[in-house]
Amino acid sequence: MLHLRPILNYGRIIRRAAYAGGRRFTSHRVNVVDELSARGLLHDTTSTSLAEVTAKKSTVYLGVDPSADSLHVGNLVALMTLLHFHLRGHQVIALVGGGTGMIGDPSGRSSERNLLSQEDLARNVDSITSQMHGFLERGVSYAAKRVSPSMKANFIPEAYLTPKVVNNSDWLGQMTMIDFLRLVGKHARVNQMIAKESVKARLESESGISFTEFAYQLLQAYDFYVLHKDHGCNIQIGGSDQWGNITAGTHLIRHLTADKAGVGAEAYGLTIPLLTTSNGEKFGKSAGNAVWLKEENTPVFDFYQFFLRVGDTDVERYLRMLTFLPDEEIAELMEWQKADPELRVAQKKLAEEVTELVHGEDGLFRARTMTQVLYGTNIEELEAEDIVKAFDGDPRLLQIKWNDIRRKHIPQVATLYKMMPSLGTARRTIESKGFYLNNKRLDDPNKKLDSVDFIKERFAILRVGKKKHLIIVTEVPLEEASFDTDG
């Protein structure tokens, strides 16, 4: 069981310490490349001069795969990298692959992707486009609350360059095969394409690689060129498995912009480590363990709990990669964590930060409320309206008039509202000490719900084991309802 109250107390102590001296949520690292490196968000760059390049305003793009209708936790490292650039005043572009998504990227995969229908792809593109806009907007709000007083004057969200979200089907869909071969294929060397890690690995596999996926790197290279030409984009960021595709783009830009002396424009690539556990396990669709950023796919409670359950060996790394907490606060959190690991102070802070970033303050509030209810932690502090808001649409929530459950035994209520399969099962569960009311074990199968069982005269929580709940909320306080104390 989670000891939420002690964790909250520890959190207040940590926050007081972390805010001392005006060093709240700020960084002494001015350059974004230095910041990314310190946070473990930098795997490799195509040039050692990238820090110098980003000392001036740059235009940076991140490509997003629309093979599902939502991004997932594995995408967060790339999204955080894009957000770091955005918050330092660079122009950021999110490219949703409506064109390349019709083919599929072979990078990091051992087999051919299933091709999506145009209808499914269009739906995914729309969903992820909305998701990208929402994430970057929330990211600015999230960061604004975490700027130290001394940095407030320099934090002007209105002055930021508006993020752009583009769809590569807008240009790839208009291009003929002849045009593509003349413009792009002419500069591609097959021996270099075969040498790319993503291609080489597939060539050595049993399934091999189709020409469709083999050509993917040229399409992504052309995307980089189009964004360079139309938007002045000079940096592409992507996962470490994207290195071959990114360098294909920097080479193509140099070729297509070369002057008579053969000198072309410089473009750069920055790769990011893939998000993994300490044992190397990846998160994502192909890994089969995706935790989605879309609430319809992964409820906010499950999202919050995912980060609350992160292992001790991973939590410090995730705090650096997935939050804006400064080095000093992370160090203090880890000191508390090592002193008393069972309190999971670092995991709770991680869960709070990432949930607010992805789902906003409202999402975090609902996740906290649900955690208190479902884990029986200080439930007497809750309000009925907050419970209703947090569990809206959840079948475990029962909003009911008092008169509809008065005179009913608890086994009757549990059976009538589908918490238990039968009256006999409910009675036997109480007799075997496995049934709880407001976190207190029941021992009388004939007990009726009474006014004293409703916290603040509004709600009561029935529980069987650890995972089966019925949350009863009356529509009006019992003192206002018609109530017969002899029931």
DSSP assignment of 172-220: HTT--HHHHHHHTGGG--HHHHHHSHHHHHHHTSSS---HHHHTHHHHH
The residue type at 383: E
pLDDT band, very low/low/confident/very high, at 112 (cuts 50, 70, 90)? low
Query: Are 198 and 241 spatial neighbours (Cβ–Cβ below 8 Å)?
Result: yes
Please provide the size of the chain in residues. 487
Which string of b and e fits 6-44 if b means at least 16 CB within 10 Å?
ebeebbeebeeebeeeebbbbbeeeebbebbeebebbbe
Note the pLDDT of residue 185. Answer: 86
CB atoms within 10 A of CB 481: 15
139-193 pLDDT per residue, tens: 998 988 887 665 555 566 666 889 999 999 999 999 999 998 999 888 888 777 7
**Backbone dihedral angles phi then psi of residue 486, each to the nearest 5 degrees:** -85, -10
Contacts made by residues 417-421, CB under 8 angstroms, sequence distance 24+: 417/470, 419/462, 419/464, 419/468, 419/469, 419/470, 420/464
Indicate whether 106 pLDDT > 70: no
**Backbone dihedral angles phi then psi of residue 323, each to the nearest 5 degrees:** -135, 175
In 3D, which of 289, 287, 334 has the Cα closest to residue 314? Answer: 334
What are the DSSP calls for 130-148, one per residue? HHHHHHHHHHHHHHHTTS-
CATH number of this structure's domain 391-482, picked from the four choices 3.20.20.80, 3.40.50.720, 2.40.30.10, 3.10.290.10? 3.10.290.10
389-445 pLDDT per residue, tens: 999 999 999 999 988 888 899 999 999 999 999 999 999 999 999 999 999 999 999
**Backbone dihedral angles phi then psi of residue 142, each to the nearest 5 degrees:** -60, -45
The interaxial angle of helices 327-339 and 345-374, nearest 10 deg, is 70
Note the pLDDT of residue 290. Answer: 86
- As a whole number, the mean pLDDT across the chain is 86
**Structure token digits, residue 144:** 């604004």
- Answer whether CATH 3.30.70.1290 is correct for domain 32-272: no
CATH of domain 299-375: 1.10.240.10
293-316 pLDDT per residue, tens: 999 999 999 999 999 999 999 999
What are the DSSP calls for 75-93, one per residue? GHHHHHHHHHHHHTT-EEE
The residue type at 391: F
**Phi/psi class of residue 418: alpha, beta or left (left: φ > 0; alpha: ψ in -120 to 50)?**
left
**Distance between CA 128 and CA 140 in Å, rounded?**
19
**Distance between CA 108 and CA 319 in Å, rounded?**
25
Cα dihedral 22, 27, 31, 35, rounded to 10, equals 180
| Prediction pTM value | 0.85
Domain boundaries, the chain: 32-272, 299-375, 391-482
**Distance between CA 22 and CA 199 in Å, rounded?**
50
Lowest mean pLDDT among 6-10, 200-204, 218-222, 440-444: 6-10
Number of helices (H), then strands (E), belonging to the chain: the values are 19, 11
pLDDT band, very low/low/confident/very high, at 196 (cuts 50, 70, 90)? confident
The pLDDT of 42-63, averaged and rounded, is 96
Q: Is the dihedral of CA 48, 52, 55, 60 positive or negative?
A: negative
Q: Could you tell me which residues come within 8 angstroms of residue 220 by beta carbon, excluding any fewer than 6 positions away?
A: 63, 100, 105, 245, 246, 248, 249
